[in-house]
Amino acid sequence: MGRPDPADSQGHERLIGSPVIGPPVLRLSLPLELASVRVLGTALRLFGRQHFPHHVEGQELHDLRLAAQEAAANIIEHDVVRNPENRIQVMMQGAPDGISVQIQNAGPPFDPTKPDAAPPDPEELAEGGYGLFLINSLVDEIAYETVDDFNCLTLTKKWNAPGNP
């Protein structure tokens, strides 16, 4: 078998053992199951621990993890009955100034960037309806688009952004 070819499959020279150039990225493909919410949270915590050890215990990563898990739970709750075979595609990407999580699914379009700004009335003790309010409150940037019949939600949390504790 011999030594590995020093060029990758596209013919670009690569140094064996050299670090990857570019921002750290992690991709997941998760089934529409509630257990996937926990897997997503654990993966994000471990991604943060590996690439951003100074922020792993910080509020920013905690807030992003909670927002991403809430978004995934909403997707699962609203899409599993219609399309149980679908999966959620997740991409985590780090940057020097923060971290983002993009969640994609093939369910019906729904733009969570335009929610009712107020949470449900606490006097009514609503069981649900807090998710979109939480997601929008916990992240610094939220973006939504549909691409080729896929919903693409991107949640971004900046490190030490103004207004963050």
Q: Averaged over 98-110, what is the pLDDT?
A: 90
Q: How many domains is the chain built from?
A: 1
With bands split at pLDDT 50, 70 and 90, how would you rate the model's confidence at 148? confident
What's the order of all strands across the beta sheet hosting 150-158? 25-31, 87-95, 98-105, 150-158, 141-147
Instruction: Determine the pLDDT at residue 159.
Output: 86
Q: Note whether residue 8 is domain-resident.
A: no
Q: Note whether residue 57 is domain-resident.
A: yes
Residue identified by tokens 């973006």 is 143
Q: Note whether residue 14 is domain-resident.
A: no
Instruction: Determine the pLDDT at residue 9.
Output: 38
> What is the pLDDT of the chain when averaged over all its residues?
81
Q: What is the CATH number of the domain that holds 49?
A: 3.30.565.10
Predicted confidence (pLDDT) per residue in 114-134, tens digit: 755 566 676 776 666 678 888
Q: Note whether residue 13 is domain-resident.
A: no
Q: Note whether residue 7 is domain-resident.
A: no
Q: Note whether residue 36 is domain-resident.
A: yes
Measured at the CA of 46, the angle between CA 94 and CA 22, to 5 degrees, comes to 25
Structural contact between residues 98 and 82, judged by C-beta atoms closer than 8 angstroms? no
% of the chain surpassing 70 pLDDT:
75
User: How many angstroms separate the CA atoms of 94 and 158, rounded?
Assistant: 10
Predicted confidence (pLDDT) per residue in 60-92, tens digit: 999 999 999 999 999 998 887 777 788 999 999
% of the chain surpassing 90 pLDDT:
45
Domain extent, residue 94, equals 25-158
Q: Note whether residue 138 is domain-resident.
A: yes
Q: Note whether residue 1 is domain-resident.
A: no
